[in-house]
Amino acid sequence: MTVKNKISVLFVCMGNICRSPTGEGVFQNYVEHHGYADQFYIDSAGTIDYHSGEPADARMREAAKKRGYQLKSLARKVTEQDIDTFDLIVAMDTDNLIELESLAGGTQKRLRLLGSFIEGYSDNYDAPSVPDPYYGGAAGFEPVLDMIESACPMMMSHCLELLNNK
């Protein structure tokens, strides 16, 4: 959501119970740790509404807790208003990105894959997708956390540039 003197970031996966609430929680922790919490509004949503109102998957919450993160959000579906109002919308995989682009009526600079913020990648075309751990075992949640953590520095730099240009 567009907020004066703040940058708004929305993380999006399919059901909003694994990857996107983790993006929200990890990135919130990252910006707080670096002293920028008052300059950010961070949220998450899913491309489907199947899990609306539910907390993050218990396995994801447990994996995040082991690294010191709390996932507090409740699942919701992304809306057209989200597309119009968030400064940066971070899709977890190419399927989510395609859904967001469809909702937005085409590609937009504000729609990015999380992988495009990982060192060695620069755009949506070559960026890796965050794997969906939902149907796998507990070990599948660790790579999700690894990818999100590795994207945080570049994502925060990008957001601070956006904020400076508001």
Rounded distance between C-alpha atoms, residue 154 and residue 166, angstroms: 19
Distance from chain centroid for Cα 140: 18
**Identity (one letter) of the amino acid at 91?**
A
Kindly calculate the radius of gyration of the chain based on its CA atoms and give it in whole angstroms: 14
- The catalytic position among 13, 18, 152, 159 is 13
Rounded distance between C-alpha atoms, residue 64 and residue 153, angstroms: 18
- The catalytic position among 18, 19, 57, 93 is 19
Q: Which among 7, 3, 61 has a CA at the least distance from the CA of 31?
A: 7
- The catalytic position among 57, 87, 132, 159 is 132
Angle at 131 between CA 6 and CA 15, to 5 degrees: 65
Query: 132 an active-site residue?
Result: yes
Rounded distance between C-alpha atoms, residue 52 and residue 11, angstroms: 15
Question: Which phi and psi angles does 42 have, rounded to 5°?
Answer: -125, 135
Query: 13 an active-site residue?
Result: yes
Query: 159 an active-site residue?
Result: no
Rounded distance between C-alpha atoms, residue 56 and residue 34, angstroms: 25
Catalytic residue numbers read 13, 19, 132
